[in-house]
Amino acid sequence: MKIIKYLFFLLLLVVIGGAVYVATKDGEFQVEESKVIDAPDELLFSTINEYKTWEKWGPWMDESEDLTMSYPSKTKGVGASYSWQSKTQGDGTMKTIKTAPFSSIDQKITFITPMGESISDVYWKFEKIEGKKTKVTWGMKGEQSFMEKAFWMTQDSTLSQNLRPMYRRGLEKLDVFVNEKMKKHSVNVDGITEHGGGFYMYSATASSVAVIPQKMAQMLPAVQAYIRQNNLPQTGMPFTIYNEFNEEQGTAIYSTGIPVREKVITPIDSNVLCDFLPRQKVVKTTLNGDYIHLKEAWEAGYKYITDNSLEPLSDAPAFEVYKTDPEQQPNPAKWITEIYIPIK
């Protein structure tokens, strides 16, 4: 009997000692992973800020076959939330607390487990680097409860070590998801129509075809600055006229212009000039997507001309109009470019 009491007393000391050890152990944790993604910060921010996209790239979707997501009416911005249910992974909720477009997002995550509720802080940081690339940082920090500390003491890894691979995989899936989203495009030959023409301010140059995008990025701001400085009403979206295009040599002479209301007399030494585009019959092609697909759109337009026994107007240059401002729309898949090829 004394031995039983002794063993019980010893077991009690072990339990109390273990509880004291667990209670005094630091329960704070933080896990953080970063990845440079070849996408604009605004697009990445808007993707993560909308909870309905999370099931497309969230790493936990790979961990459970019975995971179901539930959404309230608000799934985007401050106050937005979503919840999930899973017999194998447990239930939980996520809520957006604070946003700073396009640099950070702060969230609260609640895990509902047999050990009770656990609330932690989730944060996102977006750092623009190297043109349109963005460094995305995803992290979580919080305080483990007594039961959680006791649980993780029985495991081969810590909570942070367990979460880190999941966060890393999530950023990799986010990279794939966003880039697939940006690659979407469509080309439609709208057919024969008439372009109204009009006056326009422009800057012209010649270069190899390969550097046209870089040259245009320098020329267009100069034209825009001239229009602003002289208070000229802009009557349409920017465009590029291809005065000469030598595909064999890979060179082009082209003008980047912006439509204006009337003829403008410019100084003799001005790099920005004024010209007039006549009203003319054209074959119109529309590209919805990134400018990297322009070659495909041009080929579709000329194929339409050939297939329908039409003839391009040799002394009238073809041109493309940029209906979407990339500064206002970060997703290239939503850019709209109209191509006009004059015909006889």
CATH label of the domain that carries residue 160: 3.30.530.20
End-of-domain residue from the set 183, 208, 240:
183
| Same domain for 153 and 34 | yes
The pLDDT of residue 26 is 44
Q: Quick count: other Cβ atoms within 10 Å of Cβ 118?
A: 19
How many angstroms separate the CA atoms of 52 and 69, rounded? Answer: 9
Asked whether residue 337 is assigned to any structural domain, the reply reads: yes
Strand ranges, E, within 114-160: 116-129, 133-143
pLDDT for res 150: 46
160 with 139, same domain: the answer is yes
**The last residue of a domain, from among 167, 183, 199:** 183
CATH of the domain at 335: 3.20.80.10
Question: How many angstroms separate the CA atoms of 200 and 190, rounded?
Answer: 24
Same domain, yes or no: 160 and 38? yes
Query: How large is the angle between the packed helices 159-183 and 41-49, nearest 10 degrees?
Result: 110
DSSP state for residue 211 in the 8-state scheme: G
Dihedral sign, Cα of residue 62, residue 67, residue 68, residue 72: negative
Q: Would 108 be classed as within a structural domain?
A: yes
Residue 314 lies in a domain: yes
Amino acid present at 118: S
Q: What is the pLDDT of residue 115?
A: 64
Residues 309, 231 share a domain: yes
Is 164:30 a contact under the CB 8 Å cutoff?
Answer: no
End residue of a domain, out of 183, 210, 232: 183
For the beta sheet containing 318-322, the strands, ordered from the edge strand earlier in sequence to the opposite edge, are 186-195, 280-288, 336-342, 318-322, 239-246, 251-259, 198-208, 273-277
Residue 273 lies in a domain: yes
Q: How far apart are CA 77 and CA 46, in angstroms?
A: 9
Q: How far apart are CA 115 and CA 113, in angstroms?
A: 5
Averages of pLDDT over runs of 10 residues in the chain (344 residues) are: 47 42 54 93 95 90 78 95 84 94 94 76 93 91 58 49 82 95 95 96 93 90 95 96 88 95 93 95 97 95 96 93 92 95 96
Instruction: Give the domain extent around 157.
Output: 24-183
Residue with tokens 């070849």: 38
Cβ contact 333:271 at 8 Å? no
Fill in the amino acid letter for 219.
M
Q: Are residues 241 and 208 in the same domain?
A: yes
Nearest to 89 by CA among 110, 69, 60, 115: 60
pTM: 0.77
Number of other residues whose CB lies within 10 A of the CB of residue 97: 14
Does residue 197 sit in the same domain as residue 279? yes
Q: How many folded domains does the chain comprise?
A: 2
